[in-house]
Amino acid sequence: MNTDFSFAVSRRGFLAAAAGAAVSASLGPARAFAGDERQIKVAPGQARLASASSPATAVWAYNGTVPGPTLRLRQRQPVRITVENGLDEDTTVHWHGIRLPNAMDGVPGLTQKPIKPGARFVYEFTPPDAGTFWFHPHANSLVQLGRGLAGALIIEEAEPVALDRDLLWLLQDWRLSSDDQIAGGFGSAMDASMSGRVGNLVTINGMAPGDQNVSAGERVRLRLANASLARMMALRFEGHRPVVVAIDGQPCEPHEPEDGRLVLAPAMRIDIVLDMQGDPGSRHAVIDDFYDGLAYTLTTFAYDKAPPLRAHPLDAPVGLPRNPLPTPDLASAMRQEIVVQGGMMGGGKLAGVGGMMGMGMPGMSGGAAWAINGMSMTGDGHVGMAPQFMLKRGASCHLTMRNETAWWHPMHIHGFSMLVLSRNGAPVSHRQWQDTVLLAPKDVIECAFVADNPGDWMLHCHVADHQMAGLMTVFRVT
């Protein structure tokens, strides 16, 4: 199906060699490249998170900003992105949700050598799908993401969509100490084995949100991306009826979410269309009430006083053009199962990795607090990770994910989008393709995808503490 991959395979040897040599001048006489070229420098920086006048917080930043620059690329247009590492430690960039060649996936040890301090790596791929994606490190993920390294990656549709405005809210969650600096204690045992490092300041596009100015009658596409380490969100738009048009970058059948509540776990994206039908001058809260007893107003829509742009909402359909995803053949699909185990209150499923009931200190010193099918892969990716299962290239895979724990897990598959078939036995409608599927405690979710992209791919929980503490696995497409 996808011709981009064959193109990329031929490049893989070259790139592997380039990554091995300290790439600086070695890329030297650049081949003629017909596509977008971008540069990203990873380095320490400063950000004012609470307000423009608040004290500066020391962060790690892409091109000096938090979040990093929004990369707007074109569907089916090649791009070459040079990443230069100005940190004192290794990094990589993972292009979250993009179906790309394995060597471009940014997992240290598994798909590339890490980018050493002072070195560069050139990522090159052709995004097959239009939609809302994002990028972040896959090395020392908990700390690097927690210090601010994240950016939006928007792949624009070949034909523009009829809307008044296209907005992005890249949501980040920071754990700050009283001196406005990023609190230490990354990887604490309690965070690792419970809900992860949830913070105390949520920002939209790098700043604690003030009002969002809107106009009566306008139609807005709002791209929501949760770049938090661990904070789940459930957004309600008071006085408005959001229509979900895409999940994880993949267009779905437009629908209103259950109870009008958008559940957005770490790494997930949801695109909604909002017809701004409030009265001129009115105000409407956007509330996040995911955690019991901890609801808060994230931001407020503040309507200007101008008369409505139009008397009635736009007639144009809100649906987005579909992406070229291969349809899995369920009849012939290979069945695989992933069982998520461990954590606090875990019922002793993890005897081999610390015995969660009656454990001492799970998750300490890089120890495991979680497992998939009895195996804990800790960290960010490394050489020699044995695949949990194999798939023949082109085969369909019917994947069941079973959460035996008492905690929530957004399970992220690299390299593919999965069609979500059912949740706890009930069919999932609206044609939802996702690269990050949220499992509530005890959930059983069935998904399917076509293994059309060869390589060793990671499948892990995107609560960064959980991933680091063992909630990760690898599968191979041969």
Partner 1 sequence: MKLTYRLAPLAALIATPLPAVAATINAVMYKNPQCSCCESYASYLEHNGFKVEVKPVNNLSQISSDAGVPADLEGCHTLMVDGYVIDGLVPVEIVKKLLTERPAITGITLAGMPTGAPGMGGEKDGTWTIYAFTKDGKAPTVYATE
What does the binding site for partner 1 look like in residue numbers (CB under 8 A)?
Answer: 175, 177, 183, 185, 188-191, 194-195, 197-200, 231, 291-294, 344-345, 357-362, 364, 406-408
**Residue 160 or 358 with smaller CB distance to partner 1:** 358
**Residue 25 or 294 with smaller CB distance to partner 1:** 294
Give the nearest distance from C-beta 443 to partner 1 in angstroms: 14
Give the nearest distance from C-beta 230 to partner 1 in angstroms: 9
**Residue 110 or 359 with smaller CB distance to partner 1:** 359
**Residue 185 or 366 with smaller CB distance to partner 1:** 185
Beta carbons within 8 Å of 259's beta carbon, 6+ residues apart: none
Name the residue with tokens 């407020």: 300
**Collapsing DSSP states into helix, strand and coil, what is residue 28?**
coil
Return the closest-CA partner of residue 379 out of 467, 280, 295, 284: 467
Phi, psi of 186 (to 5 degrees): -60, 135
Q: How does 287-302 read in b/e, with b if 16+ C-beta sit within 10 Å? A: bbbbeeeeeeebbebe
Give the nearest distance from C-beta 303 to partner 1 in angstroms: 31
**Residue 200 or 429 with smaller CB distance to partner 1:** 200
**Residue 360 or 384 with smaller CB distance to partner 1:** 360
Give the nearest distance from C-beta 376 to partner 1 in angstroms: 17
Give the nearest distance from C-beta 174 to partner 1 in angstroms: 10
**Residue 245 or 340 with smaller CB distance to partner 1:** 340
Give the nearest distance from C-beta 406 to partner 1 in angstroms: 8
Give the nearest distance from C-beta 226 to partner 1 in angstroms: 15
Give the nearest distance from C-beta 291 to partner 1 in angstroms: 4
Beta carbons within 8 Å of 87's beta carbon, 6+ residues apart: 42, 43, 44, 60, 117, 144
CA distance 185 to 268: 25
**Residue 30 or 294 with smaller CB distance to partner 1:** 294
Contact 155, 129 (CB under 8 A): yes
**Residue 198 or 235 with smaller CB distance to partner 1:** 198
Which strands, in side-by-side order, build the sheet including 71-74? 71-74, 151-156, 131-136, 94-96
**Residue 118 or 347 with smaller CB distance to partner 1:** 347
Contact 392, 454 (CB under 8 A): no
Phi, psi of 314 (to 5 degrees): -55, 140
Give the nearest distance from C-beta 28 to partner 1 in angstroms: 48
Give the nearest distance from C-beta 372 to partner 1 in angstroms: 21
**Residue 8 or 202 with smaller CB distance to partner 1:** 202
Half-sphere exposure of 97 (CA within 13 A, CB side): 32
Give the nearest distance from C-beta 265 to partner 1 in angstroms: 13
For the record, the structure tokens of 224 come out as 């929501």
Q: Are strands 219-226 and 165-174 parallel, antiparallel or unpaired?
A: parallel
**Residue 108 or 362 with smaller CB distance to partner 1:** 362
Burial class (CB in 10 A: 0-12, 13-18, 19+), 205: middle
| 3-state DSSP of 253-303 | EEECCHHHEEEECCCCEEEEEEECCCCCCCEEEEEECCCCCCCEEEEEEEE
Give the nearest distance from C-beta 364 to partner 1 in angstroms: 6
* Cα angle: 23, vertex 28, 30; to 5 degrees: 115
CA distance 191 to 226: 19
Q: Are strands 36-47 and 396-403 parallel, antiparallel or unpaired?
A: unpaired
Q: How far is CA 1 from CA 6, 152, 169, 188, 221, in A?
A: 10, 27, 33, 45, 30
